């Protein structure tokens, strides 16, 4: 965690003996939830992205930078979907007196148990507008169909090979019988 404190127009004088500071967090947590209607049983692994997040914070005034980055994170599978806790400085150009700008996308990359990869994107600008410094972000109504979870693109059918045929292989009793000599 990173904490900071800022005081405008403060000067230390000869009579200053005690300075009271209140540290404020500079790093915030987002609980990200991807809620499935069906198909979570087909998912083997999940990763996510959150775009439009500030790449830094100014310690002297708690304003976030104007450079947006995308945060990449691993996510945990749950019985109802996918969940992750992501730490960040918050939204770009955030000042404690303003709201967050728009332009945030939440991505989800799912690796299915059959080896296929499914990618989903969600616009979460509205959600981040009201919680620019941590909160809960949700994406819901996600469905993995049984057709997406099928193991192959074609059906394998093996025909009968017929009767078994024994093949005798001569194996000698000592080592010399199995070795050819080169002259």
Cβ-contact 117, 51 below 8 angstroms: no
* Whole-number Å distance between alpha carbons of 116 and 120: 13
What pLDDT does 157 receive?
Answer: 60
Element (DSSP H or E) covering residue 109: strand 105-112
What pLDDT does 183 receive?
Answer: 47
Q: Of 28, 86, 26, 99, which Cα lies nearest the Cα of 57?
A: 26
pLDDT digits (tens, 9 = 90+) for 42-85: 999 999 999 989 998 887 788 888 888 999 999 999 999 999 99
What the block records as the tokens of 137 is 């972000």
Q: Of 146, 145, 139, 120, which Cα lies nearest the Cα of 81?
A: 139
108 forms bridges with which residues in the sheet?
A: 48, 120
- CB within 8 A of 124, min separation 6: which ones? 50, 104, 105, 106, 137, 139
What pLDDT does 153 receive?
Answer: 54
pLDDT digits (tens, 9 = 90+) for 11-36: 777 777 777 778 778 889 999 999 99
Helix (H, G, I), strand (E, B) or coil at 42: helix
What pLDDT does 29 receive?
Answer: 94
0.85 exceeded by pTM: no
Question: Residue 49's Cα: distance from chain center in Å?
Answer: 6
pLDDT digits (tens, 9 = 90+) for 87-143: 998 888 866 555 545 578 999 999 999 989 999 999 998 898 888 889 999 999 999
Which one is predicted more confidently, 78 or 6?
78
Taking residues 141-167, report their average pLDDT.
Answer: 73
What the block records as the tokens of 68 is 């947006």
């Amino acid at each position: 965690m990173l904490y900071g404190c800022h005081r405008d127009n403060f000067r230390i004088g000869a009579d200053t003996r005690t300075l009271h500071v209140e540290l404020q967090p500079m790093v915030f947590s987002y609980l990200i939830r991807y809620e499935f209607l069906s198909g979570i049983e087909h998912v083997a692994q999940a990763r996510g992205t959150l775009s439009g997040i500030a790449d830094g914070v100014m310690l002297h005034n708690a304003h976030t930078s104007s450079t947006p980055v995308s945060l990449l994170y691993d996510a945990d599978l749950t019985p109802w979907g996918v969940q992750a806790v992501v730490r960040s400085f918050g939204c770009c150009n955030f000042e404690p007196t303003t709201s967050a700008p728009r332009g945030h996308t939440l991505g989800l990359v799912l690796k299915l148990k059959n080896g296929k990869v499914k990618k989903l994107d969600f616009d979460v600008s509205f959600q981040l507008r009201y919680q620019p410094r941590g909160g809960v972000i949700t994406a819901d109504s996600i469905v993995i169909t049984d057709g997406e979870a099928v193991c192959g693109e074609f059906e394998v059918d093996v025909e009968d090979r017929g009767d078994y045929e024994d093949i005798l292989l001569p194996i000698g009793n000592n080592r010399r019988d199995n070795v050819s000599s080169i002259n």
